[in-house]
Amino acid sequence: MRLELYRVLQQCRRGVLLDLGLSGEHSLELPGCLLYTRCGTVPHLTYHTLCTLKHLPAVTQITLDSLAEHQEVLEEFQEGVRRFAGLKDTLIFCSLHDSAAPNHTGYTTNKTVSVWGSGGRIELTVAQYMALQKAIRPNWYQSMADGETRQLNPTRKRVCKAVDRTLSHLDECLSLHLKTEELRGAEIFGVVEGADVLEERVRSARETAKRPVGGFVLDGFHTEAMSQELRSQLIMAVIKELPENKPRVLLGVGHPDEVLACVEDGIDLFEGFFPFQVTERGCALSFSYTLDPNPESTERNGREFEEIPEHRESETLGHQQKKTPFEINLKDRRYQDDFCPLVVGCGCYCCKNHQRAYLHHLLMTNELLAGVLLMVHNLEHYCGFFCSLRGALESGRLDALKKKVLQGRV
Amino acid sequence: MAASTERETDMGSVNAGVSARRAVSSAPPLALRILAECPVSKARACDLTLPHCTVNTPVFMPVGTQGTMKGITSDQLEDLGCQICLGNTYHLGMRPGPEIMEKAKGLHNFMNWKNNLLTDSGGFQMVSLVALSEVTEEGVRFQSPYDGKEILLSPEQSIAIQNSLGSDIMMQLDDVVSSTITGPRVEEAMKRSIRWLDRCIAANKNPDRQNLFAIIQGGLNAELRKACLEEMTKREVPGFAIGGLSGGEAKDDFWKMVTLSTDYLPRAKPRYLMGVGYAVELVVCVALGCDMFDCVFPTRTARFGSALVPWGSLQLKKKQFAKDFQPIDPDCHCPTCKRHSRAYIHALFKCDTAAMHHVTIHNIAYQLSLMRAVRASILEARFPEFVRTFMRRMYPSRETYPNWAVEALATVNITLD
């Protein structure tokens, strides 16, 4: 794995990860997002519907939350999760928790972490964690980490303990990694913890950077955990401690405005759970991100904006996350006879073939196709946003893109 | 790939259908060309030309109740070779309602489905789903489960909704009674269904592009069935359905009513057996002379993890499949079997709806390819042999063949070994 930077502006990086995969056949453009999956499947999608997407991320993210319960099966299968899930041509990044799933606290110990599958809690020691990785055979995986400081409003002592534990887990993981034939060629990403304590963040980053890791995972910066201002401060401090030649993955952050800010702070990779959350609340991403100066797309962007201020904040959504200003709620009555595509000019399968009125109908009747079509659109829109973000970095127009994306905010 | 060849044959048959219209009498916009008739049984293979494409019969029609095929995109359904599917008038009439349908320029447009659609009349759901319904000469009166408003579904109303849906085949509103009741109510329902057929024919605003099928009623009473057949076949309708069956009656009663109906139905018009979808019923009823079938079973059972295979079904959620790394059916060419194992689908059922989609795709593929194999055997004059092979594969031994199927097949000269 080799990181090549085309353009660096202060902390902000535009680059590419090369020579990925066992035979070095893959590459990944940065900044980018990972392909979000549960049990190796992009929610609601089959191979056919997934293949309608044009800008699919080269790296698929899987989590132990959805895979730990299948350890025995994967061990017997022997060929790793990629073949088990029929994914074939992709790289696998394995992280601990599903950022879109409810998060549980109070179960982490000195020696173990817990994940939650369909059958409940599964507790993992480092040895068990590594046995799971051996069965999963990812290309990259995060080391075992104590990320429990994310919601507890932890004391400084607890934060310090989390950093210590995470470093000690990392050392154990690294030593087992070397002994595991099945993980040859795979990379461990070290996890930076430290909650909102600047000194602990810096210590965590500095110590992790001393280890032979392939990259870094920044944990505990979730949307709900802190303001963007604080997040940026902490990230910048962390990044000062990290080497330039290794990728930085940020967990738990997915809103476009936060992504833009964090890219400026030096983040390379994000998780892809946000489009899934939007889908689950019956919404479609509709924010504008096109900087293309050609008149056709300017016109279409103009249309998108007109619609956004109409949103009523009183809309009640049956999902835990609140609707963000980057999406429209298709359950709203006003879409029942709206025969426009979700986003005018969008080239996704859903927008090319279906109209808002149909999606409204599917949502009102609880039909499964609603999730399929919304997931296709939201994924395409989100990946398109990252594409545009990379383009803006290349042409030095990040500010213009920020303006455009934030323009639609209520 | 397969889709483009499919389309070419369709175009070919459209032209063939036009000339066939002259040779075989039929009311436009439908033409039935009988390609082969089994020399032994009553089975037949036809090309049924409808406004959106030609349908190769015998055909199984998957049910897309609310304008969608349960998580499968219209492209996926088309790729499986589906030439006609169903929409339910009762559901679509409630939500989104005829007004939206008119604005959407019909159900084809609304759901982006390029091939044919058949819509039912709404009568069956009304009686089976709505507790508070009352049938009078006027129509079916019921309370909307969504807003509690009292609604009357008359024959005229049913056709008006189906006209707004723009389906290629519409069904008359019939007076549906349970197939297990007897007595004067069955006769009343049969006679009323005839009167309602006339009202439906008169109400059809688009006879040039929407076919209206009559529904034979009469319960399990042969005399009433015959009377209904005699009256309804006097009408100029483009096709007939055999209704009032597949509602929990004894299989022995069921097949006798089917074979009685096909004996009296005109050869030149399509015969649609409503609500039939188990593989063995399909094969037997093709032998008895039926051309079209529909059933929610294959798609509904898929969502519960039941995958249809030539030897029965696999309950994929059961633990025994957790480490079974074979495809559902190693001989199946569907997108699911080409890519996924039983073990993976078993695991996926614990966390994502895509597991259901995989099995739904497989089950539709199974039904459609079963019917393609039936058709090929009729065209090649080896249908009786096909039935024997099918039964041998489906059942572990001769002793386990269902009696009704053995008897029914014997009446059309197919003996099982």
Q: What is the 3-state secondary structure (H, E, C) of B200-254?
A: HHHHCCCCCCCEEEEEECCCCCHHHHHHHHHHHCCCCCCEEEECCCCCCCCHHHH
Interface check A6 vs B, CB under 8 A: no
pLDDT higher at A132 or B9: A132
HSE value, Cβ hemisphere, 13 Å, CA-based, for B306: 10
Amino acid (1-letter code) at residue B229: L
By the 10 Å C-beta count (0-12 exposed, 13-18 middle, 19+ buried), B376 is classed as middle
Q: Which amino acid is at B183?
A: G
- Calculate Rg over the CA atoms of chain A: 21
Tell me how close the Cα of A81 comes to any Cα of chain B, in angstroms: 10
Mean pLDDT of A234-261: 97
The answer to whether B173 and B155 are in contact (CB under 8 A) is: yes
Residue B22 is predicted with a pLDDT of 39
Chain A residue whose CA is closest to B320: A73
Q: Is A46 on the interface with B (CB under 8 A)?
A: yes
Q: Of A376, A337, A344, A343, which is closest to residue A360 (Cα–Cα)?
A: A337
* Contact between B242 and B226 (Cβ < 8 Å): no
**Position A340: which residue type?**
C
Q: Which two tokens stand for residue A174?
A: 């690294």
User: CB contact, 8 Å: B70 with chain A?
Assistant: yes
pLDDT > 80? residue A253: yes
Q: At what angle do helices A398-407 and A368-394 cross, to 10 degrees?
A: 150
* B66 neighbourhood in chain A, CB within 8 Å: 361-362, 365, 367
Two structure tokens written together for B202:
């008169």
Task: Tell me which chain A residue has its CA closest to the CA of residue B105.
Answer: A339
Q: Measured between alpha carbons, how far is residue B43 from residues B40, B289, B381, B386, B392 in Å?
A: 8, 5, 10, 12, 20
Chain A residues lying within 8 Å of B325, measured CB to CB: 77
CB < 8 Å to A47, chain B: 335, 339
pLDDT of residue A220: 94
**pLDDT score recorded for residue A409:** 61
Asked if pLDDT for residue A312 goes beyond 90, the answer is no
Residues on chain A touching B98 (C-beta within 8 angstroms) = none
Chain B residues with CB under 8 Å of A38 CB are: 351-352
- CA A303 – CA A282 distance, rounded (Å): 21
Between the alpha carbon of residue A251 and those of residues A61, A320, A410, B248, the distances in Å are 11, 19, 26, 55
Determine what percent of chain A is predicted with pLDDT higher than 90: 85
Instruction: Judge whether A50 is closer than 8 Å to chain B, CB to CB.
Output: no
> Who contacts A210 (Cβ-Cβ below 8 Å, separation ≥6)?
none
- The answer, yes or no, to whether residue A320 has pLDDT greater than 70, is no
| A99 band by pLDDT with thresholds 50, 70 and 90 | very high
- Nearest-Cα residue of chain A relative to residue B80: A48
Q: Which residue is closest to A39 within chain B, CA to CA?
A: B348
* Residue matched to tokens 């604005």: B103
Q: Which residues of B touch A355 (CB under 8 A)?
A: 104, 110
Size of interface A-B (CB pairs under 8 A): 125
**Strands across the sheet with B44-49, in order?**
B31-37, B44-49, B54-57
Distance, CA of B378 to CA of B380 (rounded, Å): 5
Strands (E), B67-168: 84-87, 116-119, 133-135, 140-143, 150-153
Angle at Cα B297 formed by Cα B171 and Cα A43, nearest 5°? 110
Q: What share of chain A is helix, strand, coil (3-state, %, to 5)?
A: 45, 20, 40
Residue B261, CA distances (Å) to A149, B222, B237, B264, B268 in order: 73, 9, 16, 5, 14
Select the residue of B68, B74, B354 nearest A46 (Cβ to Cβ): B354
**Do B108 and B93 form a contact (C-beta atoms < 8 A)?**
no
The token pair that represents B105 in the structure block: 């320029």
Rounded Cα–Cα distance for residues B278 and B266 (Å): 26
The alpha-carbon gap from A247 to the nearest alpha carbon of chain B, in Å, equals 30
- CA-based nearest distance B407→chain A, Å: 41
Q: Do B96 and A336 lie within an 8 Å CB cutoff?
A: yes
At A152 the pLDDT is 62
B350 vs A: CB within 8 A: yes
C-alpha distance from B213 to closest chain A C-alpha (Å)? 28
Residue A291's pLDDT is 87
The pLDDT value given to residue B71: 96
Containing H/E element for B258? helix B251-264
* Residue B228 labelled as part of a binding site: no
Select from B76, B108, B366, B95 the least CA-distant residue to A369: B76
Q: Chain A: nearest CA to B243, how far in angstroms?
A: 27
The pLDDT of residue B88: 96
Q: What gap in Å lies between CA B289 and CA B272, rounded to an integer?
A: 10
For this structure, is B120 an active site residue? Answer: yes
pLDDT for the residue numbered B126: 75
pLDDT of A308 above 50: no
Report pLDDT for B9: 36
pLDDT of res. A304: 42
Contact B252, B271 (CB under 8 A): no
- Contact of A41 with B352, CB cutoff 8 Å: yes
Give B-chain residues touching A361 at CB under 8 angstroms.
66-67, 95-96, 100, 110
Q: CA of A66: which chain B residue's CA is closest?
A: B351
Contact call for A86 and B79, based on CB within 8 A: no
Distance CA A37, CA A275 (A): 11
Give the whole-angstrom CA distance, residue A220 versus residue A146.
Answer: 10
- Do B335 and A349 lie within an 8 Å CB cutoff? no
**B244 annotated ligand-binding residue:** yes
Contact with chain A for residue B300, Cβ under 8 A: no
- Token duo for residue A255: 């809103």
Other Cβ atoms within 10 Å of B81 Cβ, number: 17
Radius of gyration of chain B (CA): 21
CA B332, B338, B341 angle in degrees (round to 5)? 95
Does residue B294 sit in helix, strand or coil?
strand
Q: Report the distance separating Cα A78 and Cα A73, nearest Å.
A: 9
Would the CB atoms of A73 and B340 count as touching at under 8 Å? no
- Please confirm, yes or no, whether B294 is among the known catalytic residues: yes
Which pLDDT value is given to residue A318?
A: 43
Answer yes or no: is pLDDT of A274 > 80. Answer: yes
Nearest 5°: CA angle at B170, between B110 and B93? Answer: 50
- B369 in reach of chain A (CB within 8 A): no
Residue B8 has a pLDDT of 34
Q: Does B87 touch chain A (CB under 8 A)?
A: no
Contact A104, A123 (CB under 8 A): no
Contacts of B102 in chain A (CB under 8 A): none
Phi, psi of B226, rounded to the nearest 5 degrees: -60, -45
The reported pLDDT for the residue numbered B24 is 41
Q: Is A39 annotated as a binding residue?
A: no
Which chain A residue has the Cα nearest residue B113? A353
Catalytic residue among B79, B168, B294, B329: B294
Mean pLDDT to the nearest integer, A34-51: 97
Please give the pLDDT value at position A150. Answer: 61
Peptide bond into A295 cis (omega under 30): no
Active-site residue among B47, B120, B168, B175?
B120
Cα A279 to Cα A284: distance, rounded to the nearest angstrom: 7
Q: What is the mean pLDDT of residues A191-210?
A: 97
β-strands A140-142, A187-192: how paired?
parallel
Contact A51, A21 (CB under 8 A): no
- A119: chain B residues, CB-CB within 8 Å: 350
Q: Is the ipTM of this complex over 0.90?
A: yes
Was B334 annotated as part of a binding site? yes
User: Is A40's pLDDT higher than 50?
Assistant: yes
Pair A89, A165: CB distance under 8 Å:
no
- Mean pLDDT, 10 residues at a time, chain B of 417 residues: 35 39 54 98 98 98 96 98 97 95 97 98 80 88 85 95 98 91 94 98 97 97 97 97 93 97 98 97 98 98 98 98 98 98 98 97 98 98 98 97 98 95
Q: Residue A23 above 70 pLDDT?
A: yes
Is some CB atom of chain A closer than 8 A to the CB atom of B351? yes
Helix (H, G, I), strand (E, B) or coil at A112: strand
Residue A55: band (very low, low, confident or very high) from pLDDT cuts 50, 70, 90 = confident
* Closest to B286 in 3D by CA, of B30, B45, B32, B34: B45
Two tokens at A78? Answer: 């022997």
Of B72, B350, B358, the CB nearest to A118: B350
Pick from B112, B84, B74: which is nearest to B213 by CA? Answer: B84
Taking the Cβ of residue B339 and every Cβ of chain A, the question of whether any pair is shorter than 8 Å is answered with: yes
Q: Return the pLDDT at B209.
A: 96
**Length of chain A, please?**
410
Q: What is the mean pLDDT of chain A?
A: 91
Task: Answer yes or no: is pLDDT of A244 > 70.
Answer: yes
Per-residue pLDDT at B416: 95
Interface contact B103-A337, CB threshold 8 A: yes
Measured CA angle at A93 (ends A87, A94), to 5 deg: 105
Record: contact B76-A46, CB cut-off 8 A: yes
Comparing CA positions, the residue from A256, A224, A223 lying closest to residue A378 is A256
- The whole-angstrom separation of Cα A177 and Cα B32 is 68
Q: Which amino acid is located at B272 in the chain? A: Y
A44 touches chain B (CB under 8 A): yes
Residue A119 distance to chain B (closest CA, Å): 9
Over A242-311, what HEC string results? CCCCCCEEECCCCCHHHHHHHHHCCCCEECCHHHHHHHHCCEEECCCCCCCCCHHHHHHHHHHHHHHHHC
Neighbours of B398 (CB within 10 A): 11
